[in-house]
Amino acid sequence: MSRISVRGFAVASATAVTAVGSVVGVASGSVAQNNNDAEPTAADTTLLADIPAGQQAQVQTASLTQQADAQAIAADASAKKDAEEAARRAAAETAIAKKAEADKAAKEAKERIEAKSTAASRSETRDSSSFPTRDSYSVAQIQAMARQMVAGGQFQCFSNIVDHESSWNYQAVNASSGAYGLFQALPAGKYASAGADWRTNPATQIKWGLNYMNERYGSPCQAWSFWSANHWY
């Protein structure tokens, strides 16, 4: 037997109460015997058939309204939950996009600052032609020339490469390959692009080596990073 919940009590469907003797009349106050075919009902259950016919439609309407209200509340809670989740996703996506933009802007700003710094450093360095020529040069003299030609922040990296290639000997020759000078250029004639006196003037070799590192790797320090990983440049 189906029942409809109405404001705290169950209403049995009127169509279910059709068996003879299944409902006991209570209007006369008499005590009736239970029929074996009748289904027992809970003490707090009222059958739809027990409600006056004029009120049955109101009871059914109230029950349907209650169900509709419950469904509306559930739907509203679900919609609210979906809206909150969508808002969280949108906020997360916005935060990620803003962080990416900030990182990009910071990177570009750093690159601009480094470019300006490099340009300023290079403008303060001396050219190879500004050094007086000598019959010979000591390691200390060659290093002093390099310090004046290479930007301060790049000198140590520059020096590291020269240390490994020639130990600051501007006349060093590799017996097997013929590589020559401070940077072991091969062929040796590459130095000529920096000046015709490349065999006797370490400043000319320094100019060539600095240009090579800047043009091929971007800076002496980037050249040194490559050298450290590969042991050649």
Dump pLDDT digits (tens) for 166-225.
999 999 999 999 999 999 999 999 999 999 999 999 999 999 999 999 999 999 999 999
Question: Same domain, yes or no, for 57 and 148?
Answer: no
Angle subtended at Cα 156 by Cα 154 and Cα 162, rounded to the nearest 5 degrees: 105
Instruction: Please tell me whether residues 163 and 70 are part of one structural domain.
Output: no
Structural domain includes residue 57: yes
CATH number of the domain residue 133 falls in: 1.10.530
**Per-residue pLDDT tens for 20-61?**
333 334 334 444 444 444 454 444 555 656 666 667 677 777
**135: containing domain:** 125-230
What residue type is 14 in one-letter code? Answer: A
Q: Please state at what angle helix 155-166 crosses helix 220-230, rounded to 10 degrees.
A: 40
Model pLDDT, residue 113: 75
Using alpha carbons, select from 209, 181, 182, 184 the residue that is nearest to residue 194. 209
Q: Is the pTM of this model over 0.85?
A: no
Residue 107 maps to a domain: no
User: How many structural domains compose the chain?
Assistant: 2
